Amino acid sequence: MPDNGAGKSFYERVAAATPGGDVLMKCLQCGTCGGSCPSGADMDSTPRQLFAMISAGMEDEVLSSNTPWYCVSCYYCTVRCPQEIPITMIMYTLKRMALARGHYHKDAHINWSKSFTNFVELNGRSFELGAMTLFGLHNPFAIVKQGGLGVQMITKGRMPPVPERIRNMPQLTAILNEAKRIAEEEEV
Ligand code: SF4
Ligand code: SF4
């Protein structure tokens, strides 16, 4: 298995960084995951292909793939995998690794994702109107298309016009800080 020069192959680092990831070696290449995936048509490699590439040590190709970024975390592949491989969690691992290297697909829309997490860190929950507005700055045609729906959601009380903050923000902030500390300690 190709080595990264630091003693561990790409496959071993992916497996180690994923809870339960050591079972990746049991992948049968059956294709059930890709066949179940609602985003499969938009992915440049199916999950099955991606796992074969990980085993082959194709680090650059895997980390620059759009596949993890099109994963919508529905967990359908995970519940259907005959080998109980934590496919969705592996997608998270690959996203973290790609971000850590600044080596990710253009469809990752990192700035927009960061704005979403910033709202959560600030208020304890997402702020859909703010996220939609930021998304619209980059995708004005999408806003023209979806704007009517947004107005309906606001008028029907389904989308607050201003951010709403949870009651115990200090507790959430402490949890997030601890999660960040652990993440910094992890080697990906
Ligand atoms: S469903 Fe599981 S065993 Fe089959 S290809 Fe996907 S990861 Fe491998
Ligand atoms: S969790 Fe991700 S990879 Fe798995 S089926 Fe859903 S979208 Fe596809």
What does the pLDDT look like over 76-96, one tens digit per residue?
999 999 999 999 999 999 999
Best residue among 11, 24, 25, 48 to mutate for probing ligand 1's pocket (most ligand atoms within 8 Å of CB) is 48
Whether 45 lines ligand 2, by a CB cut-off of 6 Å, is no
pLDDT score recorded for residue 1: 44
Is 1 a domain residue? no
Ligand nearest to C-alpha 75: 2
pTM, 2 dp: 0.77
Q: Residue 148: which domain range?
A: 109-183
Check residue 20 and give left, alpha or beta (phi > 0: left; psi -120 to 50: alpha).
left
Best residue among 26, 29, 79 to mutate for probing ligand 1's pocket (most ligand atoms within 8 Å of CB) is 29
Nearest residue (by CA) to ligand 1, atom 6, is 33
Percentage of the chain surpassing pLDDT 90? 61
Domain-terminating residue out of 107, 141, 161: 107
Averaged pLDDT score across all residues of the chain: 88
Is 188 a domain residue? no
Q: Which two tokens stand for residue 130?
A: 């703010």
Domain-terminating residue out of 78, 107, 136: 107
Looking at the fold, whether 92 and 32 belong to one and the same domain comes out as yes
Whether 51 lines ligand 1, by a CB cut-off of 6 Å, is yes
Nearest residue (by CA) to ligand 1, atom 8, is 27
* Mean pLDDT across 102-120: 82
Is 103 a domain residue? yes
- CA 179 to each of CA 53, 119, 154, 170, 187: distance values in angstroms, whole numbers, following the listed order: 30, 17, 33, 14, 14
